[in-house]
Chains A and B, each alone.
Chain A
Amino acid sequence: MRERLIELVLFLAALVSVFTTVGIVYVLVKESVTFFQHVPLTRFLTDTQWTPLFDDAHFGIMVLLSGTLTSSAVALLIAIPLGTVIAIYLSEFAPFKLREIAKPFLELLGGVPTIVYGYFALLFVTPLLQKVYPDLPGFNLLSAGIVMGIMIIPYVSSISEDAMRAVPMSLREGSYAMGATRFQTAVKVVVPAAFSGIASAYILGISRAVGETMILAVAAGMQPNLTFNPLEPAATITAYIVQVALGDLPHGSVGYQTIFAAGLTLMVFTLLCNIAGHILRKTFREAY
């Protein structure tokens, strides 16, 4: 009897995660539904202005999405090449001792709070970039994107490295036996064999970049701006949510509901990323 009771309690604890998901979906959908009663979905998707708090209110999510996509693109342009090269080096070339030091170090970097990265983006990287481009505004997507890329490197390289290390030794030995050099083996044998793992590292990087908040809120400005030019300031979905939360919006107003609609967009986007990652993993899985 007592045993069954304990099992039930443990089971309920495990169910909390399910309730969390249900809760997230419930809250986002509930508030968004009221929002979409005010604003038709077509206007939400096609309007080219985002001015929800003005009298002449416009709700074009594309404006915020453009900021999110541009900054994420900059971040990925940095994180994917550097992260992959670091992973290849650590897995295939680095001496054992260096790897034992580098792996925990990368993990440590993954734990640095993002607000600290935001500080760097605004007060270190932007002034640095302004020396190259004197016209660069104080808030811009470029420096936020660069710092976001640096932030994501540890995630990408750590997971890619695990995937490459899981490639069996016999494949490498086969390649060496054919006369391939270490570099050829790494690039033409190990990377393709570990591709499903590397792809999921990239997907994780993408969803980190899309969901990143504080770096953008601090360094990219909060001005909604429909642009794909990283040299301009622009608000992202996440930065907009922070901006509204910092102000004092009455519960139940349209402005309050916009952040849930924005959050739902974000959720759908990361969900699509996860599904894409799942499909990629299935398609490219190599069995040994």
Chain B
Amino acid sequence: MVALMIGVLTFVALFLDMAMDGVGRLSWDFFTNYPSRRPGQAGILSAWVGSTLVMLTTAFFAVPLGVAAGVYLEEYAPKNWVTDLIEINITNLAGVPSIVYGLLALGLFVYQFGFGQSILSAGLTLALLILPVVIVATREAIRSIPQVIREGSYALGATQWQTVRYHILPYSSAGILTGVIIGMARAIGETAPIITIGALTFIAFLPPAPVKAEPPFISFEWLMSPFSVMPIQMFNWTSRPEAAFHANAAAAGFVLVLMTLAMNGLAIWLRYRLRRNIKW
């Protein structure tokens, strides 16, 4: 009990300290200003826009791949050495330090494939990083669907894919969503792999807008744009010697923590609801 209290109290002290340092800097301007040499005017505009775009890219790759892999392993995979290999791989990947993913991305995406130090490289890196989380969540959600459902579907003449498409996926969607949110919460706070691929720490412009006035209206130029993200902005401010920047770091950290706590909280709440409501 005492140990638990020590742990909880330390955390409360830490967060209160950060909130007190940072809250003074939180204002509308903080979200709409670019970083600046003058701490009083610096803001997180390019950081949060960068984070949002990277998250979009990550989700675009990680969710379909992760769900498809999870479905394959639960519904299709035969029991043989290939399946074993894939499963061992996923377990091992979950334990690889995130900075190693950064090195992979630096060698492969940035130089080999020539994506450069872009939003696309960062999104792909984080997608690989959270893939195990999405796969494991998908598998658990699918595993909790009773066999009866599948047999009922087959009995009505559905093929395997129809069973997956109309029964397995809809019934497991809430569980999958939980896993996706937890994975995204992890990705948004990841700093090390993104620094490794060479994200800029000081950036005073936004990536090109995805929507244009002239046809074809939608542009993907932003994928190749240099960028910065929230945790890197915070890192940059923390490692400066001036105390005024530390207040900025505290404010950015406060926003970041609120974002991840909200995402994780949502996931935990979803799972809690799920456990109560489902009765097969």
A contact residues vs B (CB 8 Å cutoff): 2-3, 6-7, 9-11, 13-18, 20-21, 23-24, 27-28, 30-31, 82, 85-86, 89-90, 93-94, 102, 104-105, 107-109, 111-116, 118-120, 122-124, 150, 153, 204, 207, 210-214, 217-218, 238, 241-242, 245-246, 251, 259-260, 263, 266-267, 270, 274
Q: Do most interface residues of chain A lie in helix, strand or loop, or is the interface mixed?
A: helix
Q: Are B253 and A14 in contact (CB under 8 A)?
A: no
Instruction: State in angstroms the CA–CA spacing of A244 and B127 once bound together.
Output: 24
A3–B160 Cα distance when bound, in Å, is: 7
A48 smallest CB distance to B (angstroms): 24
Do A15 and B86 have beta carbons less than 8 Å apart?
Answer: yes
Q: Which of A3, A20, A204, A213 contacts B99 (CB 8 A)?
A: A213
What residues of chain B have their CB less than 8 Å away from a CB belonging to chain A?
1, 3-4, 6-8, 10-11, 14, 17-18, 21, 64-65, 68-69, 71-73, 76-77, 85-86, 89-90, 92-93, 95-104, 106-108, 111, 128, 131-132, 135, 159-161, 182, 185-186, 188-192, 195-198, 201, 231, 234-235, 238-239, 246, 249-250, 253, 256-257, 260-261, 263-265, 268, 272
Structural contact, A113 and B235, CB atoms closer than 8 A:
no
Q: Known: A11-B72, A18-B89, A24-B96. Is A124-B14 also a contact (CB below 8 A)? A: yes
User: Considering only CB atoms, which chain A residue lies closest to B271 in the complex?
Assistant: A104
Contacts of A17 in B (CB 8 A): 69, 86, 89-90, 93, 131-132, 135
Q: Given known contacts A15-B86, A17-B69, is B192 in contact with A107 (CB within 8 Å)?
A: no
Report the nearest B residue to A213, measured CB to CB.
B192
User: Which of B89, B97, B196, B264 is A266 in contact with, Cβ under 8 Å?
Assistant: B97
A82 to B264, CA, bound (A): 24
18 A-B pairs within 8 Å (CB atoms) are namely A7-B76, A7-B161, A9-B68, A10-B72, A16-B65, A17-B89, A82-B3, A89-B4, A93-B1, A94-B1, A111-B263, A113-B231, A123-B246, A124-B14, A218-B239, A259-B103, A266-B99, A267-B100
How close is B235's CB to chain A, nearest CB, in angstroms?
A: 5
Nearest-Cβ distance from residue B35 to partner chain A, whole angstroms: 16
